[in-house]
Amino acid sequence: MSDFIYEFKKNAVFRIKEGQRMVHLTFEKTIEEHIWKLPISNGISLGNQILHINGNMTQYIISSLGENIDYRDRDKEFEINKKYNKKELLKKLDATIISSLNVIDSAESSNYLKVREVQGYKLSGIGVLLHAVEHFSYHVGQIAFWVKFLTKTDLEFYKDQDLNQKNN
């Protein structure tokens, strides 16, 4: 089982770091005025996307998997909060990711099998981490779409990689 947990953790960390890389690339392509702009009246701004990702990762990984107190105030993540600029938002995201990666790395195999309740769902540690990675990836896609729309540019996520390679 420990080989499975190791492999799962390794791939989860890869996906989180890949999402982090993509968010940084998208933010490089946009301007400050875009950070709090809404795509539609009931949409979510780029800034709120980052605050929401931080809240979710903190609740699921740092609090639940890491067995720490859950202080999340989810509704605040969706309030327009123009006090943060691009640099500050990325700094907050990076700090949350570093803390999350530390929890993922230090969590024992038994903690990945332990079932706990998060947001009303009963999930194992594997389920908790799977949710956090999937949720992050979902919002990275939303961020990418909105930045592509705003800037009319290619985000160049894979500019140095041949994605047409065949499987071995």
Give me the domain span that covers residue 30.
2-151
In a domain, 166, yes or no: no
Per-residue pLDDT at 145: 96
- The predicted model gives 56-72 an average pLDDT of 96
Cβ distance 95 to 65 under 8 Å?
no
Residue 139 located in a structural domain: yes
Backbone angles phi and psi of 160, in degrees to 5: -105, 20
Confirm whether 163 is domain-assigned. Answer: no
Total structural domains in the chain?
1
Does any domain span residue 90?
yes
In the predicted model, is pLDDT for residue 163 greater than 70?
Answer: yes
In a domain, 137, yes or no: yes
Q: Which comes out higher in pLDDT, residue 17 or 82?
A: 17
Q: Is residue 8 part of a domain?
A: yes
Is residue 96 included in any domain, yes or no? yes
In a domain, 164, yes or no: no
CATH code, domain carrying 53: 1.20.120.450
Asked whether the predicted pLDDT for residue 114 surpasses 70, the reply is: yes
Whole-model pTM? 0.94
List own/partner pairs for 97-100 with CB under 8 A and 24 or more apart: 97/16, 97/17, 97/20, 97/57, 99/58, 99/61, 99/62, 100/16, 100/57, 100/58, 100/61, 100/62, 100/132
